[in-house]
Amino acid sequence: MIRGLIQTVFLLIVLSILTGCNSAPVPPEVSEAEQQQLGLWKAGAEIYMPAEYKTYKRSLRDGQLHLLSRNQRFAWFRNYKDIKLEFTNILAQGKVLEAKVNEHKRIISGNIANQIAFFQNRIETLRKLASLINEGRLSSRALTKAELQLAEICVLSERQCYTDAEKKLKGMSMYTEQAANSILPILNRYTDNAKITKWRNWVNEAVEASKRRQSYSIVVSKVDKRLYLYKSGRSYKTYEIGLGTNGSHDKLYAGDKATPEGKYQVIKKVPGSRFYRALLINYPNEDDRRQFAIAKKKGLIPQRAAIGGLIEIHGGGKRGMTYGCVAMEDHHIDELFRIVDVGTPVTIVGAIEYENSVTSAMKEL
């Protein structure tokens, strides 16, 4: 009896060794889930959906542990039905997570694209505004840095490295603000209604005088980069002009390269000027002297500074570099030179209209 039992057990052991692991195969869902997990990791599930990814990974790990434990069973008694079901559920969980990750990435990428467009537009507007007032030198450095940073953000976004792109986007405002702050004090001059009202009054007076005296009057608008010639109170000719670096400021002292604003007149016609032909105006006038004294008293200008002079409307080309003068194309100054005489009023203002090119460009900021 005992001998028979021992023989049976022995036979069973020998059989099991011979048959080896001849049990049911591990369900394919197991390796599918492992591949899925790798795919989710690559897609950034850990970054974009950390909590859900952690839950998913816990489920996968539980499943893997269950599979391990099942594999320890004697081959004949191994059954993977419940393991298959468990991994099917894990795959379904992974698919839901994958959809969520993709949706999240779609939203982030959309937000990043919007922000890129916003900053591109802001940089473009700031460049345009700086160019309007001839002050690219003040803002270009910061804007170049902003453009470089934006280029990096675009590359990161293309590579779907959204977290890095978002981090860099946070630093963008610093550069654009820096650029804006460098030119805003100048731009604000052209949006200041009180200033524009004062300038409009000067222009009206100049036009009125031209009408009253049946003579010519010159009006220069800095923001429009135009010289308007009035004849008997009516617009007669318009010329494009150029101003120098810092020309958008009101002149305070010699060497500040600013173009004066005020009511002047032609005091000399210079036919053989260094800049082709020139109309010398009577800067500084009484008002300029008063402003200069105040600025000096307040310490706004160097104590040794002189008030300057020799402000002209001259040729040499409107793109020419001037140090406070008004530059014109040679054929335009030729014409103007022939028309106007000494004594012709010259009114230089920042802007004539409340809605000017600066105010409209600033709306885009």
Q: Which stretch binds another protein (CB under 8 A): 38-46, 77-85, 202-210, 221-229?
A: 38-46
Q: CB–CB of 212/234 below 8 Å?
A: no
At a CB cut-off of 8 Å and minimum separation 6, what does 243 contact? 134, 222, 225, 259, 322, 326, 327
Note whether 26 binds another protein by CB under 8 A: no
CA distance 234 to 230: 5
Note whether 144 binds another protein by CB under 8 A: yes
Note whether 320 binds another protein by CB under 8 A: yes
> What's at 214, amino acid-wise?
Q
Q: Which stretch binds another protein (CB under 8 A): 127-135, 214-222, 293-301, 338-346?
A: 127-135
Please state the closest distance from residue 114 (CB atom) to another protein, in A: 21
Q: Which stretch binds another protein (CB under 8 A): 95-103, 152-160, 188-196, 259-267?
A: 152-160
- Given candidates 156, 187, 227, 340, which one binds another protein under the rule CB under 8 A? 156
SS (H, E, C) 4-41: HHHHHHHHHHHHHHHHCCCCCCCCHHHHHHHHHHHHHH
Q: CB–CB of 347/220 below 8 Å?
A: yes
Q: How many CB atoms lie within 10 A of CB 234?
A: 9
Closest to 265 (Cα-Cα) out of 234, 306, 220: 220
- Given candidates 33, 80, 87, 139, which one binds another protein under the rule CB under 8 A? 139
Strand-pair category, 226-231 with 234-242: antiparallel
What is the per-residue binding string for another protein in 275-304, x denoting contact by CB under 8 A?
------------------------------
Convert 248-261 to b/e letters by CB count within 10 Å (16 or more is b). Answer: bbbbbbbebbbbbb
Q: Peptide bond before 284: cis, by omega within 30 degrees of 0?
A: yes
- Given candidates 317, 353, 357, 361, which one binds another protein under the rule CB under 8 A? 317
**Which positions from 241 through 260 interact with another protein, judged by CB under 8 A?**
244-245
Which residue's CB is nearer to another protein, number 10 or number 118?
10
> What's at 228, amino acid-wise?
Y
Note whether 350 binds another protein by CB under 8 A: no
Q: How many residues bind another protein (CB under 8 A)?
A: 41
Indicate the SS3 state at residue 283: coil
Which residue's CB is nearer to another protein, number 19 or number 197?
19
Please state the closest distance from residue 111 (CB atom) to another protein, in A: 21
**Which positions from 66 through 105 interact with another protein, judged by CB under 8 A?**
68-69, 72
Note whether 116 binds another protein by CB under 8 A: no
Please state the closest distance from residue 151 (CB atom) to another protein, in A: 4
CA distance 219 to 228: 5
Note whether 138 binds another protein by CB under 8 A: yes
Q: CB–CB of 78/67 below 8 Å?
A: no
Note whether 148 binds another protein by CB under 8 A: yes
Please state the closest distance from residue 351 (CB atom) to another protein, in A: 19
CA distance 211 to 301: 39
Which residue's CB is nearer to another protein, number 182 or number 217?
182
Which residue's CB is nearer to another protein, number 151 or number 342?
151
Q: For residue 277, is it left (φ>0), alpha (ψ between -120 and 50) or beta?
A: beta
Q: Could you write out the DSSP letters of every residue in 213-271?
A: HTSEEEEEETTTTEEEEEETTEEEEEEEEE--TTTTSPP-STTS-PPP-EEEEEEEEEE
Closest to 287 (Cα-Cα) out of 202, 176, 164: 202
Which residue's CB is nearer to another protein, number 35 or number 79?
35
Please state the closest distance from residue 305 (CB atom) to another protein, in A: 22
Q: Which stretch binds another protein (CB under 8 A): 22-30, 77-85, 138-146, 351-359?
A: 138-146
What is the contact surface with another protein in residues (CB under 8 A)? Answer: 6, 10, 13, 34, 37-38, 41-42, 61, 64-65, 68-69, 72, 130-131, 134-145, 147-148, 151-152, 155-156, 244-245, 316-317, 319-321
